[in-house]
Chain A
Amino acid sequence: MALTSSDVRRIAHLARIEISDAQSEQTLIQLNEIFKLIEQLQAVDTSGIEPMSHPLGGSQRLRADVIGDHPDRDLVMNNAPASQDGLFLVPKVIE
């Protein structure tokens, strides 16, 4: 299997990363090299084997649905690229 440059542009769009045409050519070459490595997995017989999603198996612990500790609001907002009145600012999405 080999990717095409239209695949790379589609994936980049899904991943929300802007990519120029020149970059997508370079990325295409590298991704195809990496996929050659990954292709080895297709030859492995895995019939009857359960996928392993986690080293220790079992289900993950859930916490009770109650309000717990939360960080200070001002400290959180200090890291926002743009904010006003304790709210995050984004470009207008509704005219």
Chain B
Amino acid sequence: MFDKSVAELSRALLSKQISAVELARIYLDRIEQHRALNAFLDVRPDVTLGQAKAADARIARGDATPLTGVPIAHKDIFVTRDFASTASSRMLQGYMSPFDATIVENLAGAGMVTLGKLNCDEFAMGSSNENSHYGNVLNPWDKNAVPGGSSGGSAAAVAARIAPAATATDTGGSIREPAAFSGVTGIKPTYGRASRWGMIAFASSLDQAGVMTCSAEDAALLFNGMLGFDPKDSTSVERAAEDYTRDLRSDVKGLRIGVPAEFFDAGLQPDVEKAVREALAEYARLGANLVDISLPNAALGIPVYYVIAPAECSSNLSRFDGIRYGHRAERYADLDDMIKKSRAEGFGPEPQRRILIGTYVLSHGYYDAYYIQAQKVRRIIADEFQQAFRACDVIAGPVTTSVAFGFGEKAADPVAMYLSDLYTIPGSLAGIPAMSLPCGFGAHNRPVGLQLMANYFEEAKLLGVAHRYQEATDWHRRMPPGI
């Protein structure tokens, strides 16, 4: 049963081939079996089985949704009442939220059963999951490779089929990069589609929740239960509910796929390029037209991001003062000293680095030169996407320059790590929907991801285009050996 998609599990549950309790037990056993991956930070079988029992009762009553009884795991950046919420930080060790994140509430409301909380980079800051206070997550395809980050636990859990689906978050590529490195399907919607209420904030003008699944079809089913207007999030967009599965039957004949020259520059490794070019050729065979486009300033996305994201992070993380919640140092001289020591002990090196950068670029005398200048270049990049979408319907290219790298390879060099997000950051800055889908294997037999991006609010179209590829190929069905 564990190799089934959400769509298949849904049919099995609704036709009573399996109960939600039986299904939850299968996954709880698998989580236990694959403990060495370190994907999960908190598992509470009594909570999970209680939710599964309620789901079975709901199915028996006949008021189930397509998601009722299907298990899901949540990135530990979403707060939950029934599981600890740590953001993979020492700062929040053991924190029990008094409420559930809206995303968690929506999916639970649809009847989904929570398997637990997933490891990630501390406060979602990182590209390899090596920044977690609770240890590395292993890539199920290759135990020497990172799973990607920051949603490394989400990617590894879905890749190893220890969860059929997982929530994740993207600020500069934290869904697409780990999805590519771990060979799963990952999508972030348009900024404002997913509620940020209860999602521990990193960079508020960029943070957006999404999902990791085994297919685009599964992602569409989850979006139906998860997205929607939330009055508790001031940047939530007020739009009517949509059926994100509506374009799954459409074909790609005549679809214009824009291929940005800048995404195939000298930095792109030949193994990744080969797999991505083959995926583009597959789309051409399916009847799509490949169109050359340009995003001339896409590479400036990295410096823009490393001003804006740290600036917003320094502001958001100022709430951690060791007073109301979170880590408090044991010994201190006075209030100020207590706050300084608590933050020095509670935050790991990467959040501290970003808080310092952010504090500097927002400080008197530097605000205009750095922060405002970065916001202006952000608009240049976003406008270039609008220009590009005049000539094409979706944009396609690589997600990353290389396949997953090894542990420790970039950990000592923050700038090398930051460059991992070269192709994902531009879409995040613009706030458009973007996804990664498996499209082959590169060096060391590690997975390669194809990136697809669409214009604002075109998630359904994006998922339809991805689904067509997954009907024609089977990369997304491949599973890591020995799982």
Contact = CB atoms under 8 A, between A and B. Distances in A.
B415 A37 contact: yes
Given A34-B357, A60-B235, A63-B234, 15 more contacts: A12-B356, A15-B355, A15-B356, A16-B318, A16-B321, A30-B414, A31-B357, A34-B415, A36-B415, A38-B306, A38-B307, A38-B361, A46-B376, A51-B379, A53-B205
A46 B363 contact: no
Contacts of A84: none
A9 B409 CA distance: 29
A2 interface: no
Interface in B317-341: 318, 321-328, 332, 334-341
Interface stretch (B7-15, B25-33, B50-58, B296-304): B296-304
A75 B98 contact: yes
B144 interface: no
B400 interface: no
Nearest to A60: B234
Contacts of A8: 356
Contacts of B303: 37-41
Nearest to A55: B431
Interface stretch (B153-161, B165-173, B367-375, B473-481): B367-375
Contacts, number: 168
A22 interface: no
Interface residues of B, number: 72
A71 to B, nearest CB: 3
Nearest to B333: A91
Nearest to B231: A63
B344 A41 contact: no
Interface centre among A7, A16, A42 (most CB of B within 10 A): A16
28 contacts: A15-B314, A15-B318, A16-B339, A16-B343, A17-B347, A31-B356, A31-B360, A36-B415, A37-B418, A41-B373, A44-B380, A46-B380, A49-B379, A51-B379, A52-B378, A54-B431, A55-B192, A55-B382, A55-B432, A56-B191, A63-B231, A75-B96, A76-B98, A76-B324, A78-B96, A79-B326, A90-B338, A91-B332
A18 interface: yes
Given A52-B376, A55-B191, A79 B234 contact: no
Interface in B79-101: 95-96, 98-99
Q: Which of A38, A39, A72 has the most CB of B within 10 A?
A: A38
A12 B352 CA distance: 9
Contact of B414 (A33, A42, A72): A33
Residue among A40, A50, A51, A80 facing the most chain B CB atoms (10 A cut-off): A51
Q: How many of chain A's residues touch chain B, expressed as a range?
A: 35 or more
Nearest to A52: B379
A50 B382 contact: no
Contacts of A37: 302-303, 306, 415, 418
Contacts of A53: 205, 375
A18 B344 contact: yes
A75 B95 CA distance: 11
Contacts of A56: 191-192, 235, 237, 431, 456
Contact of A17 (B99, B190, B340, B429): B340
Contacts of A67: none
Given A27-B353, A41-B300, A71-B98, A49 B327 contact: no
Contacts of B336: 16
Which 10 A-B residue pairs are closest in the complex by CB-CB distance?
A55-B431, A51-B375, A71-B98, A81-B328, A75-B98, A52-B379, A46-B376, A79-B325, A18-B344, A18-B340
B377 interface: yes
A80 B96 CA distance: 11
Given A40-B300, A52-B375, A81 B323 contact: yes
A17 B353 contact: no
A8 B355 CA distance: 12
B432 to A, nearest CB: 8
Interface string B178-195: 000000000000111000
Given A38-B307, A53-B375, A17 B352 contact: yes
Nearest to A56: B192
Contacts of A15: 314, 318, 343, 355-356, 359
A42 B236 CA distance: 33
A14 interface: yes
B431 to A, nearest CB: 2
Contacts of B318: 15-16
A54 B236 CA distance: 12
A57 B413 CA distance: 35
B279 to A, nearest CB: 27
